[in-house]
């Protein structure tokens, strides 16, 4: 997987300050989990969202990228969608996608730690906290998981509470409770 990490400061000073840099292309498809939306910036996949309807995931995307031009582009993103659908059907290997990861430094540390969790080897939030440098608050770790915009490629679904159940974070986006 080619990982490209960006944050607000670097995006604002990037040399590609054109209209295209603020464009997010997306495609919506059907899977066993409902609707899946894959979005890509000029840098890489910046969102994988799940929902019940196309309208729901499109609204989630627009809310996640205010100020960006959101454009449906089925043909260009078909290969990304196909990889994701295949992964959902048979999750054997990590997703090989160029990623545009946007988040705070703490969120990126949590998301980097999530990417080290092997398939079918879930961790508890406490175990994940030990892998993350900085604050060890389980609530902060769970919140970062919930705000993960690139579900499956950053596998927040591989983390569970000590009881073996998934935690649901009430505030913010809730991809953590999804696949």
Same domain, 86 and 37: yes
* Domain CATH number, residue 134: 1.10.10.10
* H or E stretch at 69: strand 69-72
How open is the CA angle 81-86-87, to the nearest 5 degrees? 95
Distance separating alpha carbons of residues 37 and 71, to the nearest angstrom:
12
Same domain, 51 and 77: yes
Number of compact structural domains in the chain: 2
145: helix, coil or strand? helix
How far is CA 107 from each of CA 13, 82, 100, 129, 157, rounded to the nearest angstrom?
21, 27, 14, 12, 15
Of 52, 84, 99, the residue at which a domain comes to its end is 99
Is the CA virtual torsion 119, 130, 154, 49 positive or negative?
A: positive
Distance separating alpha carbons of residues 84 and 90, to the nearest angstrom:
10
Same domain, 84 and 154: no
Distance separating alpha carbons of residues 99 and 40, to the nearest angstrom:
8
* 119: in domain: yes
Q: What is the pLDDT of residue 164?
A: 55
Burial environment of residue 178 by CB neighbours within 10 A (0 to 12, 13 to 18, 19 or more):
buried
Full domain range(s) for residue 121: 104-171
Q: What is the pLDDT of residue 134?
A: 66
* 177: in domain: no
Contacts of 15 (CB under 8 A, 6+ apart): none
* Domain CATH number, residue 90: 3.30.160.70
Same domain, 92 and 128: no
Distance separating alpha carbons of residues 96 and 145, to the nearest angstrom:
20
Q: What is the pLDDT of residue 135?
A: 60
The residues of the chain scoring below 50 in pLDDT are: 1-21, 166-179
Q: What is the pLDDT of residue 70?
A: 95
Q: Could you identify the residue written with the tokens 């078909």? A: 78
Whole-prediction pTM: 0.75
- The residues assigned a catalytic role are 156
Region class of 67: left (phi > 0), else alpha (psi between -120 and 50), else beta:
left
Q: What is the pLDDT of residue 92?
A: 80
Of 78, 99, 120, the residue at which a domain comes to its end is 99
């Amino acid at each position: 997987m080619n990982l490209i990490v960006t944050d607000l400061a670097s995006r604002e000073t990037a040399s590609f300050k054109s209209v295209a840099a603020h464009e997010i292309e997306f495609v919506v498809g059907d899977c066993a989990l409902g609707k899946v939306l894959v979005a890509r910036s000029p840098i890489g996949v910046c969102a994988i969202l799940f929902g019940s309807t196309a309208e729901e995931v499109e609204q989630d995307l627009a809310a996640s990228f205010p100020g960006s031009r959101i454009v449906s582009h089925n043909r260009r993103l078909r290969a990304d969608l196909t990889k994701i659908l295949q992964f959902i059907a048979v999750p054997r290997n990590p997703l090989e996608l160029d990623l545009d990861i946007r988040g705070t430094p703490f969120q990126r540390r949590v998301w980097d730690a999530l990417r080290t969790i092997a398939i079918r080897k879930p961790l508890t939030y406490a175990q994940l906290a030990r892998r993350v440098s900085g604050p060890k608050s389980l609530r902060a770790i769970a919140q970062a998981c919930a705000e993960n915009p690139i579900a499956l490629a950053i596998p927040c679904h591989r983390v569970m509470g000590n009881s073996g159940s998934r935690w649901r974070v009430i505030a913010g986006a809730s991809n953590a409770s999804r696949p």
